Structure 1
Amino acid sequence: MSVLPAAVRPQLAAPRTLARCRELVGPALTEAVGRLHPWVAEMAAYSFGWCEVGGAPASAPGGKGVRQALAVLGAEAAGADGRAGVPAAVAVELVHAFSLLHDDIMDGDATRRRRPAVWKAYGTGPAVLAGDALFALAVDTLAAAPGGPGAVRLLSGALADLVRGQADDLLFTTRPGTGPERVTPQEYRAMAEGKTGALLGCAAALGAALGGAPEAAVGALDRAGRHLGVAFQLVDDVLGIWGDPAVTGKPAGGDLREGKKTFPVLVALGSPDARGLPALLGVPGREAEAAALVEQAGGRTAALAEARAHTAAARSALARAPVAAGAVSELDGLLDLLLDRER
């Protein structure tokens, strides 16, 4: 499934940007993880796809490295060498890994990137410990960088937003899908900005701050990243219902089977064209019917339109930022890549 028409799909520049940034950040990330307790370091390495349970080397699918790329490009946008953003890139990668370890436990997700989640592979207690260690290591890495104290304050603010977003996401499961107490699309946007957008915005802002950017540029990059995060989450919601399991690594209609209140579902629940939807959510075997109702009620169209709107807002923030044009061009390429994705 492609979100954007072929005429505006990203070219090869964005994947090359991600690869360049991973190559720059990789050695520092490996070195940082190596400072952990050996058992905790193994769990961290497993979460990154570097090893199997027991420590045998592996090359399992990992993340795209978007957050570390944002940090490197943030530094370059400030006119600095990309290496100035490496401590920020390492810190946000560690925080992201920490959040995924804890997310999988809270959500009861048994797999992550086609492998058992860390809590299934090592146990719940060890996975919590590994997440805590990654968080502490992220703060230590950033504090040791030039300009570290100010950078740590930026990171702590983003973490507070991330926790608020995660708290809202968990509370959404206890609220009805219809009626006066239902979760609204507006509340969902705020949740997505905290849970997903805060760390993306922080990544770009941290890189810019370590690169010596003025406050206006740091703020603009943070806003762009937050909009990008909301767009990313919305596309993820679409893939969670209509994505190809062979590509996404997730079962077809998994979000519907779990009864998740994603943006397309919330839009559909507010439409008279989906009156039968509440009875289908969370019912195994009824995913195809539920997906058809969500689409019929405009949920898919609304989610993609909202994603495009947040992408446009991200571009607008970048265009107004007093930063280097070359880095903005690469950041702009990432926007298309993340929207036009299949997993």
Structure 2
Amino acid sequence: MSVILPDAGDFNFASRPADLHAVTRTRPIQKLLLSPRKIFGLMSQAIGGGAVNLKQLIYFTKIIEHGNITRAAEQLNLAQTALGIQIRNLEEEVGVALLERHSRGVRPTRAGKILETHAYEILQRIDTALEEVRGATGLEKKSFIIGVTPSIMRLVGAELLTVSQTADSATFRFVEELSFQLLAALTRDEIDYAFAFNIDPTSGVCREALLEERLYFVTADDGERDRSPIGLEEILRTDLALLSSRDIIWNIIHKAAARRSLDVDVAFEVQSTGAIKALVERGVATSVMPYGIIAQELSRKAFVARPISETDVVRTLYLIWSEKSGADVPAKIRELLLGPLVALYSRRLGSQARLL
């Protein structure tokens, strides 16, 4: 099997002590056979050197997917100002405003919606052309697009890319998004399978529970922090920073608190995981996070992670796929990805994981 591996423009691999590699996705959740950098390089002559380029279109669609420039910049591994400049340059070139700001982020203007439609069409046409070229030269193989969450990618992404090279009749491409975004992408037929957390029963979607993962209470490391298990009631007396109500951790905390008739007062509701980690590291806030998201900070002793005493403050990892693909997972997916991923991920988590 040959695997379409990303170049430096797709992922950033950061070496860590011990056995962890962080892998951060920096391309949108489109079925692209090439990275944005490669596409831009291949198409630059066709564009003719104009100010509007494919990279800007990819950035623009990414912002619309997230509805927030900060989150899009984080996923693209770009500075927010750099991404903002790219979009302003795009707006100047087309001569109209493409995005409008509101209290929680951005949304496309009428002109922006039109450009969004054409941008996806352009990217899809490139993808189709490349598939046809490969088919004509006998290079076409069965291709699977696999969605994974940021915490999975940070813990086992490098190993996944290596494991996926062991087959000889298929290609595997990985995209990284939050669980609810992966579910949405699956229902739009943009990905084939996804490893995602806390997926409720959904019409047209099959799911298989894989493991339960206990979460950590996270604070800044001042050298004197308690590292023993902590109860939920004590956690709720701290200045918590969480994402919005669409986020899995937010819902886990609120549901666990409701079962115990405890009030939840979120001190900081922020727009990105990066912003939460910045607040925690400065000692301004605390949070509840999975190990994969904080592994790098723990390795450099920026955070202290305390196990949570309550056994229901957990998230469940599922493999999800469309009913249109059949009721069962193909043996190739199960053998090459499902088994190795669950084994690697649970090994990284240690006692915080329970296989289902």
TM over 0.5: no
Q: Which has the higher strand share?
A: 2
TM-score range, shorter chain: 0.3 to 0.5
What's the TM-score, normalizing by structure 2?
A: 0.35
